[in-house]
Amino acid sequence: MVDSVGCDRDEDQDGVHDCIDQCPNTPLGVQVDSVGCPVDSDKDGVPDYLDKCPDTPVGVAVDSVGCPFDDDNDGVPNYLDKCPNTPAQVIVDSVGCPIDTDGDGVSDYLDKCPGTPVEAYGMVDSVGCPFDTDGDGVPDYLDKCPNTPKEAYQAIDEHGCPIDTDGDGVPDYLDKCPTSPGPASNYGCPELKREVTNLFKKAMQGIQFETGKDVIRRVSYPILNQIADVMKENPTYNLAINGHTDDVGNDEFNQGLSERRAASVRRYLINQGIEEERMTSQGYGETRPIADNKTAKGRALNRRVEFEVSFKTVSYEKVINEELKDVVKPAEQPTDSVVTK
């Protein structure tokens, strides 16, 4: 049935006669406009009854259900997304960019050092960790000595600077006496006073023993007492006492004699009040001559007790023989060994 102009029909029953209905197949119950088309409130081309995002801003491209495209699926639509290629599962902020909690410029999902402080901004690597140019374990933003060499890595402070335990200006890694201050010219070790050096040189041949024995002759007591005084005045000194003989006699006997004589000197100094842990004794027999054993003078020079001064366990100066000239004459030194045949 139609009216006089044929407009009484409404096939889709949307309330708009077919003759003016521009959307004659509107589903039943859908709200339509004056020309019979489903209402599209946000004008995105998707009618409200299908639109899952009914408030899309004008001009924004949408998908089949009326929602703005989100190419990287981060939950932020493309039209708002300032980081449209965010990897899957990465947490993003309101503009679609990966969160950077510490603000160092490296997103959390890449950041292996997520707690970088403000002071380090601009000084982090590709994984968000502060640079450590010299590799000493102290990041550059804290490092006051950014060029520390590898040799010093085991002895640096919290500021990345080599430790100088004794405060002598020579860092421990270069200091041969790290707990005893001394000049750089002597590798950080104290310099022995000339009179001390001379005393040890004199003692090399001023210490005399009974022939073939380890019994110290009384004539040697004064110089040994002087050595004891030096050790008491310098508590940082340690002393290695080394015994030597000439080549007269049996090798085995000479070795044992040198050991016993060095030990005898050590015992004497202990009895004078020097701590035993500060001294060691060692014998070398006839293996380390400093002169020609073919002459009486040479043999006399080879019969000796040497002293090596050290600080802690680091040796820095060994007193060596320099002929001793007028200090002790070779003739004054008795023969060491008993000749065995």
pLDDT at 321 over 50: no
Instruction: Label residue 19 by pLDDT band (50, 70, 90).
Output: confident
For the segment 281-301, what is each residue's pLDDT rounded down to a tens digit? 999 999 999 999 999 999 999
Q: Concatenate the DSSP letters of all residues of 22-41 into one string.
A: SSTTPPTT--B-TTSPBP-T
* pLDDT tens track for 59-99: 888 888 888 888 888 888 988 889 988 999 898 988 898 98
The model's confidence at residue 12, banded by pLDDT at 50, 70 and 90, is low
CATH 3.40.1590.10 fits 194-332, yes or no: no
Q: Distance between CA atoms of 307 and 240, rounded to whole angstroms?
A: 6
In three-state secondary structure terms, 231 is: helix
Q: What is the pLDDT of residues 24-61, one digit of tens each?
A: 777 877 787 777 677 777 788 888 788 788 888 888 88
Each residue of 128-179: pLDDT tens digit?
899 999 999 999 999 999 999 999 988 999 999 999 999 999 999 999 888 8
The three-state DSSP-derived secondary structure of the chain is CCCCCCCCCCCCCCCCCCCCCCCCCCCCCCCECCCCCECCCCCCCCCCCCCCCCCCCCCCCECCCCCECCCCCCCCCCCCCCCCCCCCCCCECCCCCECCCCCCCCCCCCCCCCCCCHHHCCCECCCCCECCCCCCCCCCCCCCCCCCCHHHCCCECCCCCECCCCCCCCCCCCCCCCCCCCCHHHCCCCCCCHHHHHHHHHHHHHCCECCCCCCECHHHHHHHHHHHHHHHHCCCEEEEEEEECCCCCCHHHHHHHHHHHHHHHHHHHHHCCCCHHHEEEEECCCCCCCCCCCCHHHHHHHCEEEEEEEECCEEEEECCCCCCCCCCCHHHCCCCCCCCC
Model confidence at 217, pLDDT cuts 50, 70, 90, reads: very high
Confidence of residue 7 (pLDDT cuts 50, 70, 90): low
The DSSP bridge partners found for residue 190 are none
Residue 324 scores a pLDDT above 70: no
Dihedral pair phi/psi, residue 199, rounded to 5°: -60, -45
How does pLDDT run across 173-216, given as a tens digit for each residue? 999 888 889 899 988 988 888 888 889 888 887 899 999 999 99
